[in-house]
Amino acid sequence: MTQCCINPSILSADFVNLEAELQRISNADAVHVDVMDNHFVPNLTIGLPVVQRIQAVSPVPLDAHLMIADADRWAPGFADAGLASVTFHAEASVAPIKLARELRSRGAKAGMALRPATAVEPYLDMLVELDMLLIMTVEPGFGGQAFLDITLPKIRRARAAVEGSGLGVAIQVDGGITEETIARAAEAGANVFVAGSAVYGAEDPSAAIDLLRAKGSR
């Protein structure tokens, strides 16, 4: 059985008690940190100084999801901060291959995200440059949205391409992941799952992580 990774999103956590909120998910594989700039998405969250403080106290590695314009300019600074993984949006980068190489050269895993309506095919040749492909399963910007089933065929095509390439690129899904939807995403080929409201909305976030992991493993 392949165990999947559950990366809770702190977007649904209590922002005034981040350190305690991080301790509640210490059985997670990583913590998903959503950075939004109010340009690439119509919402604003936190920037690098707060991310660095999270990095200093987190019991698990950081998985940053940068929903910011001009990723080529801003993403390398997150890798320099020592984050385990930095994911930029393909739609926000003019030179994604160069950017992925830059992230890796600065010691971070390189992730690239696609909005729900962005096709994966134009990017398949650059899988070799990536450690993770994030297929958004909601429009980025807000937690608590419903999972978009129309993204399932894209997850399937991405999984087939990863298998065909022989590369170990992880396929992450983000948005609307619940105890109910996670099995569909896993069946389609995702193996890293972001869950915000399903984890932090639960009475016991740590138990919610274990349940999601069981339902998302194949």
34 is catalytic: yes
Q: Which residue has the tokens 């210490």?
A: 26
Q: Is 186 exposed, middle or buried (0-12, 13-18, 19+ CB in 10 A)?
A: buried
Are the C-beta atoms of 75 and 100 separated by less than 8 Å?
A: no
- Contacts to Zn ion from residues 107-136, by CB under 5 A: none
Are the C-beta atoms of 12 and 20 separated by less than 8 Å?
A: no
Q: Which of 4, 5, 6, 12 binds ligand DX5 (CB under 6 A)?
A: 12
Distance CA 11, CA 24 (A): 14
- Residue 176 interface partner, choices Zn ion, ligand DX5, none, CB cut-off 5-8 Å depending on type: ligand DX5
Using CB under 5 A as the binding rule, whether residue 174 contacts Zn ion is answered as yes
Q: Which of 18, 31, 65, 135 binds Zn ion (CB under 5 A)?
A: 65
Using CB under 6 A as the binding rule, whether residue 111 contacts ligand DX5 is answered as no
Using CB under 6 A as the binding rule, whether residue 176 contacts ligand DX5 is answered as yes
Using CB under 6 A as the binding rule, whether residue 177 contacts ligand DX5 is answered as yes
- Name which of 34 and 129 has its Cβ closer to Zn ion: 34
Kindly give, in sequence order, each residue whose CB lies less than 8 Å from that of residue 107, ignoring residues fewer than 6 positions away.
Answer: 79, 82
Active-site entry in 37, 63, 131, 174: 174
Distance CA 38, CA 26 (A): 30
Using CB under 6 A as the binding rule, whether residue 196 contacts ligand DX5 is answered as yes
- Residue 7 interface partner, choices Zn ion, ligand DX5, none, CB cut-off 5-8 Å depending on type: none
Number of H helices and E strands in the chain, helices first, is 8, 8
Q: Which of 197, 202, 205, 215 binds ligand DX5 (CB under 6 A)?
A: 197
Q: Which of 174, 205, 212, 216 binds ligand DX5 (CB under 6 A)?
A: 174
| Dihedral over Cα of 135, 110, 60, 1: its sign | positive
149 is catalytic: no
89 a known binding residue? Answer: no
Question: How many other C-beta atoms can be found within 10 angstroms of the C-beta atom of residue 122?
Answer: 10
Q: Which residue has the tokens 């160069």?
A: 98
Distance CA 64, CA 188 (A): 24
- Name which of 60 and 97 has its Cβ closer to ligand DX5: 60
Catalytic residues: 34, 174
For binding to ligand DX5 (CB under 6 A), which residues are involved? 9, 11-12, 32, 34, 65, 138, 140-145, 174-177, 194-198
For binding to Zn ion (CB under 5 A), which residues are involved? 34, 65, 174
